[in-house]
Structure 1
Amino acid sequence: MNCPLHSWLPALCWVFLLLGGCYCLSDRDQERDRISSLPGQPQNVDFSQYSGYVTVNEQAGRALFYWLIESPESQNPDERPLLLWLNGGPGCSSIAYGAAEEIGPFHINADGKTLYLNPYSWNKLANLLFLESPAGVGFSYSNTTSDLFTAGDQRTAEDAYIFLVKWFERFPQYKHRDFYISGESYAGHYVPQLSQIIYRRNKGIKNPVINFKGFLVGNAVTDDYHDYIGTFEYWWTHGLISDATYKFLGIACDLGSATHPSRDCIIALDIAYQEQGAIDPYSIYTRPCPYTSSLRRNLRGHHPLMSRAYDPCTENYAQIYFNLPEVQKAFHANVTQVPYKWQTCSDIVGIYWADSPLSMLPIYRELIAAGLRIWVFSGDTDSVVPVTATRYSIDALNLSTVTNWYPWYINTKVGGWSQVYEGLTLVTVTGAGHEVPLHRPLEAYILLRSYLENKPMPS
C-alpha cells in the first residue's frame, strides 16, 4: 500500500507498515517523550509537555536532557516560535532556574511536592525548550566519567548544536519555524557561541531546518575586561565595598591582562566579598534564604506584582521536587546513569572548566553584521554581573545609536530604561536581580513580547 507523508515530515523519515498502516519514527519518539502529567501539577493544564534525552556523542555516551513546554492550545502553539532557554553557572540546571522559578508555567510550592501556575509564563508567547547542559548537569549524563572534569565552552556549544540537529528530527513540526535562543549569566557565553555555530552552518541554505532569527541574554557574562571594570564600579557606587578595597581591586586585578584573574586578584576579590557581608549578591536588596549554606548561587528576588509573596528559598524546593522518584519517572529521567542525586548546580561541572574565552564581543560583531536580532537585558540590583558591566561591554562594540536612552513603562510605572543601537537593543529592568523573570515577571513578559514582535520597549 502507499504511505503518504505529511508536508512537515522530514524527507528521510523512516516509515513502517504496521498492521496495514503507516508509522513514523519521529511520531513514536515524540509519544515516548510525552509527559502525561507531573506530580502535584494543577488541574486544567491546556498545553503539551515532553521530556527525554538526545545522545550527542555515541562513543562517550553523552546524552542531554530536555523539557519542551508548548504554548497553550488557546494560544495556537503551531503558530508560535520556538525559544531555547539556557542557564549558566557553568554547571547549573536550566530546569531548576529557567523553568521552575523564572519563565516556565510551573513553579514549586514550599512543600517541595506540588506546583502552581506562573501567570507570566513565557510559553504564552513561545514554545519553550529547556536544555540541561553540558553533560553532568541535572539529568544530563555521560558514560565517560572524565567528561565531567573536562567540560568547557567549545564542547558545550558543539554538543548543544548536535542536540538541536537531532531534536528537530524528533520534532519535525518545528523545522523551519522561527527559532530564538535566550539565557542568563554564564549563558552569556553559551548563547552567542551556539548562535554563531548555527549561523555559520546555515550559510548558503535558503530554507534552513534551524530557522535561527536571533538571541536575547540577561545579566550576561560578556567580556572579562569590561565586566570587571563595571562590577568593581557597581560594588563601590552601591556602598558594598570600601574605598581602599576598590583601589586595591584596580591594582591587583590587571584588567589589561590576557589571562584570567591572578592570585593577587583573587585575594582582592575575597576581601571584597567579606566586606559585602551576608547579602544575596544576586539580588542585593532582598533577604537571603536562611536555609541556604552558600549565597554563591542563591538567585532570588521580590516584586509586588508577583502572584505570591516572595520566598527566597525556592531553589531548595526544586532540590526536593526533582529528586522525588515519581517526578523523575514522569520526566523519563534515566537516574541509573546519573551518579549523584539531581542538583540545581553540579558540584563537579564548572569547577573543572576546560576553556572559557575572555570575550564574546567578536561573536557579537559577527552576528550583528549578519543582521540577527540581538537584545541584551539587565536587572539593576544584581552585583554579580551588574548593569554597569553590561553597559561597559556594549560600549566597547562602538555601535551607532538609533534611539537614545529612555525610560520604558508599564502603564505609568517605569519598568526600566532602554537604548537602541544599530544591530543591538539594551534593556534594563529596575529592581530586578540576576534572574530578571523571577524578580520582575511582568516586566520580563513584556520584554519578551517586545523582542518577538521586534518592537522597542513601550515608552
Structure 2
Amino acid sequence: MTGSSVLSVLCIYVVLTFGSFITVIKSLETQTQSHEHYSYDRVINLPGQPLTPSVSQFSGYITVNKDHGRALFYWFFEAQSHPSKKPLLLWLNGGPGCSSIGYGAAVELGPLKVNKNGGLNFNPHSWNKEANLLFVESPVGVGFSYTNTSSDLDILDDQFVAEDTYNFLVNWLQRYSQWSSHDFYISGESYAGHYVPQLAELIHNRNKDISENPFINLKGFIVGNPETDDSYDYRGILEYAWSHSVIPDEVYDTAKNVCNFENNNWSKECNAAMEIVFDKYKEIDIYNIYAPICLINTTSSVVGSDSHVSSFKRPIRIPAGYDPCYTPYVQEYFNRTDVKKAFHANTSIDYKVCSDHVFNLYNYTISSILPIYTELIKSGLKIWIYSGDADGRVPVIGSRYCIEALGLPLKSPWRSWFHNQQVGGRIVEYEGLTMVTVRGAGHLVPLNKPSEALSLIHSFLSGQPLPKDR
C-alpha cells in the first residue's frame, strides 16, 4: 500500500470515528434533554388528589410552531399496569373549542376526576386500565394551550388543527421516545369526529415517506357520537327529535318539507323550522335527553344552542353529561394557582372548559368526513364508531345514515352486546368498520356509562369481542 493510500485510509478512519463520536454525543444530549423534560413534566401530586392508588402522570407544553410561539398543553397517564406492554391512546374532545383535559380527562375517562368539593376522585373505570392515555388541548386557544401570534386564531380550521396535532405528536414522541414504538390509536368524541379521522389521514400519508417524516405506529381510531357529515347528521337531529317526542308532528313535517340538508346554505324557512326544533331542546338536555338539566345559576347544558339561529352549519358546544352542573367545578379547579403550578401550566391563563372565542372564530371548511373513511378503510386501519343512543345532538340515527352511505359489505349482522347481564347496546360489523351503540348513554358515553365504556375500549384495543349473551 502506498503512503497516500495509507493516509487516505487513516483519514477515512478518523472521519468515521469522529462521526460516530459526534453521533453518540448527540444521542446522549437527546437522551439527557428527554430525561430532563421527563423529570420536569412529571406531576408529583395535584391538590386534592387521593393518596391511593398512585397515579403516574405528566403534564406540560409541547411547542408546535416556534416562529409563532404556539404550544399545546397535554396531560399524560401511564397505564395502571404493564405500561411498557400497552398501547398509546390519544383522546381529543371537540367543540370546536372544548378542552380534552376539562372534559375527557377530568370528567369522563381519566383516572382523576374533578369533584364538586374542589378535589379529585380516583376513577375506577379510567381508560388507562387499557392503555397509556394522552390528552391534548387542541386547537390553540383551548384550555391552557396558547399562541403568541393572535392572527393564528383567525385561520383555525380542520387542516390547521390536524397539522398542529401532528406536530405535537412528533415532538411529544421525541420527548417521550420510550412510547414511539408502541401501537398508537386515536380516540375522541363529537367534533373530534372531524379531528380524529383527519389526523389519522395525515399520519397515514406522512408515514408513506419515512425518509422525510418520523414513523408513527398508527393502528386505528375510535370515535364517539361523531360529527361526520352535515347532511346526514342534521337529518338525524330532526328525525331523532320527532321519534323521541321532543317535537310535535307539525314541526317535524314543516322542517322535513322546507329543509334540504344536502345544501349547506339553508333557506330562511329551513332556518326558522330548525330554530323551533332547537328551542324545544332548550327545555331538556339535548346531549342526554333523559338526564336532568342543571338548575343552578351557571352555564347550562344547552349553552350555545342559540348560535344556530344564524348558522346551523356551526355545531353546538359540548357542555353535557349525567351531572350537567359539573362545568363550574372543573373551571374552578383548574383556575386555582396551586393547581396550575402543580400542573406546569401558564398561571396567567384564565381557564375555560370551552372557549367561545375559538368556537366563534372557527372556519368550518369541511362538511363531510366520509371520503376520508373510504380512504382509510382501504389502508387496513382498525376503525370503530360508537354512539350513546340518548344523544339528541349527534344522534345514533345520523351516524347510521353516515355508515350506510359508505356502502360497506356486511361482515357480522346487527346484534345485542351484554354488560353485567344486561344489554349494553348493539353492534354491527362491516368490512373495515364497526359500529357500536351504548344503551342509555348520551353524548359523553364514558361519563354516562363508564363501566360499559371501559368494556368498549377494552374490546377495541384487545380484539376480544363484546359479549354475545348474558
The two structures have a TM-score, normalised by structure 2, of: 0.88
Q: Hey, what's the Cα distance between the residues in 2 that align with 1:261 and 1:119? A: 45
Alignment of 1:71-110 (within 5 A): 71-72=79-80, 75-110=81-116
Structure with the greater alpha carbon radius of gyration: 2
Q: Which runs of 4+ in 1 moved over 6 A?
A: none
Q: Are residues 213 and 416 of structure 1, via their aligned partners in 2, closer, same or farther at CA, if it must alter by over 3 Å? A: same
Q: Give 1:230 shift.
A: 1.4
Q: Which residue of 2 aligns with 1:7?
A: none
Q: Which residue of 1 aligns with 2:367?
A: 358
Residue 268 (structure 1) aligned to one of 268, 273, 278: 273
Alignment of 1:59-208 (within 5 A): 59-72=67-80, 75-111=81-117, 113-203=118-208, 205=210
Structure with the higher helix share, 1 or 2: 2
Q: Which residue of 1 aligns with 2:344?
A: 332
Q: Give 1:326 shift.
A: 0.5
Q: Which residue of 1 aligns with 2:253?
A: 247
Q: Hey, what's the Cα distance between the residues in 2 that align with 1:262 and 1:454? A: 46
Contact conserved, 2:237 with 2:394, CA < 8 A, in 1?
yes
Contact conserved, 1:280 with 1:298, CA < 8 A, in 2?
no
Letter aligned with residue 406 of structure 1: R
Q: Hey, what's the Cα distance between the residues in 2 that align with 1:184 and 1:356? A: 19
The SS at the match of 1:349 is helix
Letter aligned with residue 351 of structure 2: W
Contact conserved, 2:63 with 2:70, CA < 8 A, in 1?
yes
Q: Deviations over 1:276-298 (max 9, x none)?
A: 34201100001011123432343
Q: Which residue of 2 aligns with 1:279?
A: 284
Q: Give 1:43 shift.
A: 0.5
Q: Are residues 242 and 130 of structure 1, via their aligned partners in 2, closer, same or farther at CA, if it must alter by over 3 Å? A: same
The SS at the match of 1:393 is helix
Asked if residue 298 in structure 1 is aligned to residue 323 in structure 2, the reply is no
Alignment of 1:230-245 (within 5 A): 230-245=236-251
Q: Deviations over 1:22-62 (max 9, x none)?
A: 96111111111111111000012333111111111112111
Name the % identity.
51
Asked if residue 424 in structure 1 is aligned to residue 441 in structure 2, the reply is no
Q: Give 1:227 shift.
A: 1.0
The SS at the match of 2:374 is helix
Contact conserved, 2:88 with 2:134, CA < 8 A, in 1?
yes
Letter aligned with residue 320 of structure 2: L
Letter aligned with residue 179 of structure 2: Y
Q: Which residue of 2 aligns with 1:307?
A: none
Q: Hey, what's the Cα distance between the residues in 1 that align with 2:352 and 2:376? A: 34
Q: Hey, what's the Cα distance between the residues in 2 that align with 1:256 and 1:312? A: 33
Asked if residue 15 in structure 1 is aligned to residue 28 in structure 2, the reply is yes
Q: In structure 2, list runs of 5 or more residues that go unmatched.
A: 1-22, 304-317
Identify the range of structure 1 (228-237 vs 432-441) with the bigger mean alpha-carbon deviation: 228-237
The two structures have a TM-score, normalised by structure 1, of: 0.90
Q: Hey, what's the Cα distance between the residues in 2 that align with 1:23 and 1:155? A: 30
Contact conserved, 1:54 with 1:63, CA < 8 A, in 2?
yes
Q: Deviations over 1:249-298 (max 9, x none)?
A: 223332231x3545443322211122334201100001011123432343
Q: Give 1:150 shift.
A: 2.6
Q: Which residue of 1 aligns with 2:327?
A: 315
Contact conserved, 1:89 with 1:185, CA < 8 A, in 2?
yes
Asked if residue 38 in structure 1 is aligned to residue 46 in structure 2, the reply is yes
Q: Hey, what's the Cα distance between the residues in 1 that align with 2:164 and 2:258? A: 37
Q: What's the C-alpha RMSD, in Å, of the aligned pairs?
A: 1.9
Identify the range of structure 1 (432-441 vs 58-67) with the bigger mean alpha-carbon deviation: 58-67
Q: Hey, what's the Cα distance between the residues in 1 that align with 2:120 and 2:340? A: 15
Q: Hey, what's the Cα distance between the residues in 2 that align with 1:272 and 1:93? A: 27
Contact conserved, 1:54 with 1:64, CA < 8 A, in 2?
yes
Q: Hey, what's the Cα distance between the residues in 2 that align with 1:185 and 1:289? A: 21
Identify the range of structure 1 (243-252 vs 158-167) with the bigger mean alpha-carbon deviation: 243-252
- Aligned pair count? 429
Letter aligned with residue 328 of structure 1: K
Residue 227 (structure 1) aligned to one of 230, 233, 245: 233
